Amino acid sequence: MNLGFLASHGGSNMQAIIDATKSGALSARPALLISNNRNSQATARAQSEGMPFTVLNSVTHPDPAELDRAMLASLEEHGVDLIILAGYMKMIGPEVLAAYEDRILNIHPSLLPKFGGHGMFGQHVHRAVLEAGEKTTGVTIHLVNNEYDQGRIIAQTEVPVLPDDTVESLAARVLKCEHEFFVETLARIVASGLHVS
């Protein structure tokens, strides 16, 4: 199974998945990274791993429809079976959504539907969790549709919020969980032959 990644910044979840494919924990092949950010750490990671990558954004393709078509062409050229959003900060275009219906996964650092939606990413989520006085947060893996964090939930796992947590300490603990949980969930999906449920 060929995995395609979309990432805007660090790409640490992508790296965790690549590492799992190299160790044999995940029977899949990292086939492509598409980034909207030429200087992202994700592109540096792809380069060091020898994985094909391309930069596609509003500079390379000012027309959103052309950008959408270019992304789809690149995904198809590399034989991508499953798309993984690893910190991708843009909406997915309608052509990619249609071609990869039920085959685009995102990971979100909370127990959706809590603390999701537009603008809720990274430390914004963890700050909102702490300000709400939550005792538990977690990680959600969901299908991607045309609304932020609204796709069908595939898997969730809880992470405790500790009394002395800061935004930074909570973020670090949730991220560690993301890396492990994404690999576990992908292994289940790959083993089932792309049956996402």
CA distance 97 to 4: 14
146 is in an annotated binding site: no
Structure tokens at 18: 């690549």
Return the pLDDT at 5.
98
The partner residues of 54 in beta bridges, in order of sequence, read 34
Greatest extent of the chain over all pairs of C-alpha atoms, in Å = 49
In this predicted structure, the answer to whether residue 195 has a pLDDT above a threshold of 70 is no
Task: Provide the CB-side half-sphere exposure for 83 (13 A, CA).
Answer: 26
SS3 per residue for 74-99: HHHHCCCCEEEECCCCCCCCHHHHHH
Cis amide leading into 64 (omega within 30) = no
Higher pLDDT, residue 147 or 74: 74
End-to-end C-alpha distance for the chain, whole angstroms: 17
Mean pLDDT of 168-176: 96
Which domains occur in the chain, in start order?
2-191 (3.40.50.170)
Q: Please indicate whether residue 118 is annotated as part of the active site.
A: no
Tens of pLDDT, residue by residue over 84-125, are 999 898 899 999 999 999 999 999 999 999 999 888 988 999
13 is in an annotated binding site: yes
58 is in an annotated binding site: no
Mean pLDDT of 171-189: 95
Higher pLDDT, residue 185 or 118: 185
pLDDT exceeding 90 applies to what percent of the chain?
A: 89
197 is in an annotated binding site: no
Return the pLDDT at 167.
97
Tens of pLDDT, residue by residue over 137-151, are 999 999 999 888 899
Q: How high does pLDDT run on average in the chain?
A: 94
Return the pLDDT at 194.
60
Confidence band, pLDDT 50/70/90 cuts, at residue 192 = confident
Catalytic residue among 9, 78, 108, 179: 108
CA distance 132 to 66: 41
CA 117 to chain CA centroid, Å, is: 15
Higher pLDDT, residue 194 or 180: 180
